[in-house]
Chain A
Amino acid sequence: MNDETPVLRISRFAIFICLLVIMAYPIFWSIMSSVKTNAELVANPFSIPREPQIDNIVELWVEGDFIRYFRNTLIISLVTVIGVVTMSTMAGYVFSQRATGAYKFLFLLFLFGLMVPREVVIVPVFRIIASLGLRNTLGGVILVYMAGTSFGIVLMRTYFLSVPTELREAALIDGCSEFGVFFRIYVPLAAPAMVTVSIFAFFFSWNDLLWPLILIQQPEWFTLVQGVLRYQDEFTIDWSKRSAGLVFSILPPLIFYLIFNRGIQSGLTAGAIKM
């Protein structure tokens, strides 16, 4: 397409700049707001902080509540990511090797899970978790997240299907066991896909509102998302303190997003189109 006019090129440039501002500025703005005093924020919400201070942030981390929310969320996310990626990789591998009978049925069952909105299951799952005595525990939330392997399984299966079968045959001839083939050949090859699955499991478990909202009512076991929401209700006029809470709740996934951007971009479209 080399018949681009200068007008076209300039308007594209303008669109790009507008986009960068619209997408990145709100996040930048919230970081700026968190290092202003509340008085300065209310007086000059859009200026660069005149005297940057970190009192809000220090207060946030010293007070105790925020650290607890952060720890709860970290535990939930860590266990969920490890569990989901392990289960999805194993099951995805098997479904890539077998596509008949019970395995076909089970794979379709997982695929079906992508279509069912979770609203349908929240009442029964709430009752199951409650009857296990796991309300107001991190374990209850983790259990629910462990059931969310559909996306990972579909993604891993697709990835494993692209591995040439010659590799597998060569390993079998060399006397490798079935699990050995999986563990020594397929898993190392699938590392990029596993990273993608881990990142999405991390984003989901870190950011989810619905399950913690339903399963956890004691502030002691609140997740970050719940904690940040609580700040919105409690510090209505302290905008800068609310900004600080917000910034530190979004920072960990944002950092991961920037590091693993490539894998996220490819995993996103792969998952969506396969759906």
Chain B
Amino acid sequence: MKQAQMSQSAGLFRLPRLLRTVRPKISAKDVVHGLMVLPALVFYIPLFVVPILLGLAVSFGDWSGVAGALDMEWIGAENYVELAGDRKFWSSLGITLRYAAMVVPSQLLIGLLLAATINSGKGMLSAGVKVAILTPIAMSAVAIGILATFLFSPQIGIPALISNEPVDLFAEPNGALLGVSIAHVWGGIGFTTFIFLAGLQAIPEELYEAAKIDGAGLMARFRRVTIPLLRETTIVNLILIFIGAFRSFGLIYTMTRGGPYRATEVLSFFMYKQAFVSFRMSYGSAIAVILFLIIATITLFKIRLTRAGTTRYY
């Protein structure tokens, strides 16, 4: 019956033969599949996809915190023009880059060395270390930040242990940024190490055997086999660490609130302050869009680099 009705209507709007033959028939399976995807979409579309577009739109308007939901005034690129001339924005970008410059190389290098060390060791101790370094993944940035604040405090922290006149790291601009960076690396090192470990385990054992037969020592094997074959893993890690550092918010909020004298006011914190403390929501959105563009560029870069490098050595 259903078939007959469908072919009748097809008579009115005659479709090309090819399209007619592939006309979809809705089966019970299609309905089940549709219903199974639906719940995820019900939340994801209105609370993530639509907001991305709205966020972009808002950055071209004037949306203060108190106005109603939709009465936004379009002001074109004014927010971006203002941003380009905002000294606070540029200094904030500079702080973010300095923060990344401290976090990225240290986390990458330490992670690589730890992964190589853990990979070469076996037994209980090695397994225990794997559990220990990943612990911060269960902790909030706030908890990590508070722990670091305690341990760096001149009252009860390490400074009190090593000196009678303990220094307050967070009273100095550079010290504060360094303190947050250390906490950041402590929190992220496990993740980095695990990605390196996965990369190391993907290197075929035969390559090491072959290198050994050719007379390569331990260091030579690390330099000539491990490092080149880890190229792709390193790029993935580099970019993940960079994005992590670039978006750091919880640690800054907990440890310094951007201080002293705005010395640790990274981009995401600057954005939060503009949007939710000064209630300049449109201006905040413009900062977020810039943040997104930087991250998207790096991500695309990563996709290109890793695609180009695949299967090169095999």
| Chain A interface residues toward B at CB < 8 A | 1, 3-4, 8, 12-13, 15-16, 19-20, 22-24, 26-27, 29-30, 33, 41-42, 45-46, 86-88, 90-91, 93-95, 97-98, 103, 106, 109-110, 113, 115-117, 119-128, 130-131, 143-144, 146-150, 153, 177-179, 182, 203, 206-210, 213-214, 225, 228-229, 232, 239, 242-243, 246, 249-250, 253-254, 256-258, 261, 264-265, 268-269, 272-273, 275
Contact = CB atoms under 8 A, between A and B. Distances in A.
Interface string B127-140: 01111111111111
Interface of B: 28-29, 32-33, 36-37, 39-41, 43-44, 46-52, 54-56, 58, 63, 69, 114, 117, 120-121, 125-126, 128-143, 146-151, 155-157, 160-161, 186, 190-191, 194-195, 197-198, 208, 212, 217-218, 236, 240, 243, 247, 249-250, 253-254, 268, 271-272, 275-276, 281-282, 284-285, 287-289, 291-292, 295-296, 299
A243 B150 contact: yes
What 4 pairs across the A-B complex have the smallest Cβ distances?
A207-B140, A124-B54, A257-B138, A124-B51
Given A45-B160, A46-B161, A86-B39, A125 B69 contact: no
Nearest to A23: B132
B49 A109 contact: yes
Contact of A268 (B43, B120, B142, B191): B191
Contacts of B128: 16, 20
A149 B150 CA distance: 35
B157 A232 contact: no
Given A1-B218, A16-B129, 14 more contacts: A29-B151, A94-B37, A110-B44, A113-B49, A119-B287, A120-B51, A120-B288, A122-B288, A124-B285, A147-B48, A149-B44, A229-B254, A254-B138, A269-B197
A19 B129 contact: yes
Contacts of B186: 22-23, 26
Contacts of A115: 295-296, 299
B292 A119 contact: yes
A264 B151 CA distance: 28
